[in-house]
Amino acid sequence: MSWNDRNVLITGVSGFVGSYLAKYLIDQGANVYGLIRRRADGRIPKNLVDRGIYNEVKLIEADLLDLAGLANAIDEAQPDVIFHLAAQSFVPRSFTHPLETFQINTLGTANLLEAVRVKDYDPTIVFAGSSEEYGLVISSEEQYNRVKAKYGHVSPEPERIPEVPINEGNPLRPMSPYAVSKIHGEYIFRNYYYTYGMKTIVSRGFNHEGAGRGIMFVTSVVTNQVMKYKFGETDKILIGNVNAFRDWSHVMDIVRGYCLLAEKGRPGDVYNQGSMRTNSVMSYILLSLEQAGWKIEKIETMKNNKVVENPTEIDDSEMFGVKFEKTKLDRMMLENEIEFTIEDEGVWVHTDKGKIPVVFDPNRFRPSEVPILMADTRKIQKLGFKAEHRLTDIIRDQLNYFLRPENRV
């Protein structure tokens, strides 16, 4: 399918992913319409300015909670394809504002589909579902036993251990109101295919990052602080749970994946999008420091005397039946040889230029956590998907972004 002269409507166009997607589609010749909430301050969304497309996206003001406004937007855009990316997407906010999260992500999603249905258009509609839907993924017998001791049960019980890499058939064990809201959104999408024959397709995107990623997400939290440390604007790196493992992709790989799903995805179906690797938050910090110019010799916890020599040594051996790039430290953590706890208080990173403190901040820990995510992307690969970027490409783009003083927060 050629995108040339196709009408595309993107909800969440001023967000991180929405703006990259809009730029990509404009470059392909599409007419891109973007749904945007009315801004009281009249300021131009930074992401659209940074992508250089502010004058090229046709912005339509409408709120996901306003059905009439959405119906007007559909009339105006007459979309061949809709990408529904707008959401309350920050997991910690969903813990403090669950109802707001449900309103925007579930009711808002239902409203959008209703607007399309009542208007009788027949676009392909792609939904930004999330790997968060999988939630409590079991990666080893040890972890299973720990989880069972903590919660009393694991429901549904795993049919295999490890449950990674995660395929589309994995159980959904949501660990946040955000995850529940995305499951709900996804199921409305799928149901509208079965009930009304609408061409709805679900992407379950694993974490995707790059220059301009929201400042509150961990990859920006890390790279922002690393650059601040480099320029003497801070004397430590503050962080929450460094044991979490994520499948981090470059935003452009996922943007291409969204387009592929619109072109070739099967209506009513669900597709993972990710990189088929998994790395820890701790490694993200160490690799960022390394790319910013420090040579890392060892790490040592501030309390409890846990030491790892050469933690960033590259290990591309097979784990969970997949060969992927990780650090020596990632492997040790995945094999339960080492775990960081809040009682460790933090980690000293020993480098060629002295010790850097990485301090654990109790306020950044979540009431319930997704321990590990790693996508099995074989289903979308059959449509032609390929994750082109390495983890270090993402880190490089983010460090370059924070090199500019005006982007550091």
Ligand X SMILES: C[C@H]1O[C@H](OP(=O)(O)OP(=O)(O)OC[C@H]2O[C@@H](n3cnc4c(=O)[nH]c(N)nc43)[C@H](O)[C@@H]2O)[C@@H](O)[C@@H](O)C1=O
Q: Which of 14, 19, 47, 131 binds ligand X (CB under 6 A)?
A: 131
Stretch that binds ligand X, among 97-105, 140-148, 186-194, 200-208 (CB under 6 A): 200-208
CB of residue 299 to ligand X, shortest distance in Å: 16
Give the HSE-up count for residue 333: Cα atoms under 13 Å, Cβ half-sphere.
Answer: 25
Choose among 8, 400, 335, 393: nearest CA to 208: 393
217 binds ligand X per the rule CB under 6 A: yes
Q: Which is nearer to ligand X, 16 or 193 (CB)?
A: 16
132 binds ligand X per the rule CB under 6 A: yes
Stretch that binds ligand X, among 214-222, 250-258, 335-343, 384-392 (CB under 6 A): 214-222
241 binds ligand X per the rule CB under 6 A: yes
Q: Which is nearer to ligand X, 121 or 206 (CB)?
A: 206
207 binds ligand X per the rule CB under 6 A: yes
- Omega of the bond prior to 162 within 30 degrees of 0, cis? yes
Q: Which is nearer to ligand X, 115 or 218 (CB)?
A: 218
> Is 237 in contact with 358 (CB distance < 8 Å)?
yes
C-alpha radius of gyration, the chain, whole number:
21
Separation of alpha carbons 106 and 102, rounded Å:
5
Separation of alpha carbons 201 and 128, rounded Å:
9
The dihedral built from the CA positions of residue 165, 364, 402 and 204, taken in this order, carries a sign that is positive
Q: Which is nearer to ligand X, 339 or 369 (CB)?
A: 369
> Is 274 in contact with 374 (CB distance < 8 Å)?
yes
Contact letters for ligand X, residues 152-191 (x by CB under 6 A): ----------------------------------------
91 binds ligand X per the rule CB under 6 A: yes
Q: Which of 86, 116, 138, 244 binds ligand X (CB under 6 A)?
A: 244
Q: How many distinct helices (H) and strands (E) make up the chain?
A: 14, 20
Alpha helices in 209-347 (DSSP H): 218-230, 251-264, 281-291, 328-334
104 binds ligand X per the rule CB under 6 A: no
Residues making contact with ligand X (CB under 6 A): 89, 91, 130-132, 205-207, 216-218, 221, 239-241, 244, 246, 281, 364, 366, 369
